[in-house]
Amino acid sequence: MTAAVPVDPTTTTAWASLTELKKGLNPDLRGWFADDPQRAQRMSFTAGDLFVDLSKNLVTDDILAALVRLGDQVDLPARRDAMFAGERINVTENRSVLHTALRLPKSAELEVDGQNVVEDVHATLEKVYDFARTVRSGEWKGVTGKRIETIVNIGIGGSDLGPVMVYEALQPYVQEGLSARFVSNIDPTDIAEKTRGLDPETTLFIVASKTFTTLETLTNARLAKAWLLDSLKSAGAIDGSDSQAADAVAKHFVAVSTALDKVAEFGIDTANAFGFWDWVGGRYSVDSAIGTSLAVVLGPENFADFLGGFHAIDEHFRSEPLASNVPALMGLLNVWNVNFLDARTHAVLPYSQYLHRFPAYLQQLTMESNGKGVRWDGTQVTCSTGEVFWGEPGTNGQHAFYQLIHQGTQLVPCDFIAFANPAHPLKDGAADVHELFLANFFAQTAALAFGKTADQVRAEGTDEAIVPARVFTGNRPTTSIMSASLTPSVVGQLIALYEHITFVQGIVWGIDSFDQWGVELGKQLAKAVTPAVGGDEHALEQVDASTQGLIRFYRQHRTA
């Protein structure tokens, strides 16, 4: 068993060393590279199919060594092993943390509470795969006998962000004739727009809610059911009888849930409900049955490759020494940036349009996990925790916010992600467009690292009055991540990489990265406020004056 009380990182000798190293630090990436021709080679690593260059971070060999010692001194290896073994490291919910079990091979064994969870995982996977095959082949038919053409996934948080991100990332692998849409927001605009133009006879809804009680998901599911039945009736596909309505719901809705009684009450055949376990957190669940929509549109073989990518990084993280362990090093570097360099945000910049939802996915993964102010034993944290993750695909971001990253007063560590082979190798005349694209990727990290001196600006003939405006200080930290191609396996590897980076930071800070109590208060208050919004004067009197004023404005101006 691992220690019940987290190690206070600020009391370790490694933290003291890092504090001293920071005092003496004069970042000089230009000089460091000039003086050390082996720096890039020494600070570049491979994990799975990922090549990761850490050399443009603001660290020396001594700093990296101290960070590795910090990992050891906060018991990172033991906490990592405890997670993989199924110990209940999610202490506030008394749960194991076993998203890594979702991608173990069928031959593996992992016993938790007397049960081999790998058997359970693969039994559910086979059920999902069998369902996917029936939809892909056309064997599954809607109420009028037509094959399914559109999957609509209804979920929120981890039941939405993961599937939609992966769907967008793997568009070239989607089966022709199939597509997916994703509904999450309780704003009625979302369900209205996502059902616009759909043929109800060829649409299949997947309702993803473990407890089948999530307010947003169940509201949208009921709206989807009403849309389906109203549309089918309007088209004359079904009459108004309860029996035909029930048949239509059973053929056009499936569930990802373990609450079979509620699933049946909704009208979904419980044989078409796919479950997962309380040791799978929502933001870690895309490789569980939550990914059913992906298994359908991508196919079981591609989904299996996706899982294999996760497992490759899991094995690297589980077995590689900290000094060459990519997720560990990246997590420790994030600690260095936050706690010693005072970085407050972290940009993720994929040079791949297919990964345009990856930064949004990471926002939940990282900030819901590590946005905590107490440690896992209930005591206050002893240092800053978490950072704001954000980003957009290159080169769009270059024409938007890169100005601040290059010349602003805030330090913004950046992760750049790119692929050697494009999905669409196009040419503009004789120019290879992907090479033009990646030239920006390579140039931006160099520009951020090495900058441009006043003398270099003057040498270009720049008027002296504007020389300061055209100087780039450099020494802006970046990590570069590359792979050959954006495949299902590589997408899995990228997700697992950041899962483990997040875990590493949480262990250093002593927090429980796997609960999310911070999302609860607003939801509870929303339930209390709802009657006031609907016109209940007594309920309105119970809320604060500011909220009263906002609700009164709403009620005065609501016209429909």
Catalytic residue among 106, 265, 301, 523: 523
Nearest Cα to Cα of residue 347 among 263, 444, 459, 469: 444
Ranges of beta strands (E only) in 484-536 are none
CA-only gyration radius of the chain, Å: 26
Look up residue 533 and give its amino acid: V
Give dist(CA 255, CA 209) in Å, integer.
Answer: 8
225 is catalytic: no
Q: How far apart are CA 37 and CA 39, in angstroms?
A: 6
523 tagged catalytic: yes
The catalytic position among 20, 399, 427, 520 is 399
Among the options 201, 216, 368, 387, which is catalytic? Answer: 368
368 is catalytic: yes
C-alpha 328/C-alpha 149 separation (Å) is 42
From the CB of residue 552, how many other CB atoms can be counted at a distance below 10 Å? 12
End-to-end CA distance of the chain: 59
CB 412 within 8 A of CB 345: yes
Tokens in use for 41? Answer: 């080679």
Q: How far apart are CA 425 and CA 172, in angstroms?
A: 13
List of residues 6+ apart from 9 with CB closer than 8 A: 15, 70, 73, 74, 335, 382, 383, 508, 509, 510
* Cα–Cα dist 362/387, whole Å: 11
Angle, helices 61-73/13-23, rounded to nearest 10 degrees: 160
Q: Please report the sign of the dihedral spanned by the C-alpha atoms of residue 148, residue 150, residue 155, residue 157.
A: positive
For 350, the token pair is 């994929």
Residue in 132, 183, 133, 186 with CA at minimum distance from that of residue 159: 183
Q: How far apart are CA 407 and CA 470, in angstroms?
A: 9
Burial class (CB in 10 A: 0-12, 13-18, 19+), 316: buried
52 DSSP β-pair partners = 45, 481
Q: Which of 374, 378, 377, 397 is nearest to 386 (CA)?
A: 374
On the CB side of 227, CA atoms within 13 Å amount to: 24
Q: Are 292 and 206 in contact (CB under 8 A)?
A: yes
CA distance 284 to 364: 10
3-state secondary structure (DSSP) of residue 87: coil
Q: What burial class does residue 558 get, using C-beta atoms within 10 Å of its C-beta: 0-12 exposed, 13-18 middle, 19+ buried?
A: exposed
| Residues annotated catalytic, as ranges | 368, 399, 523
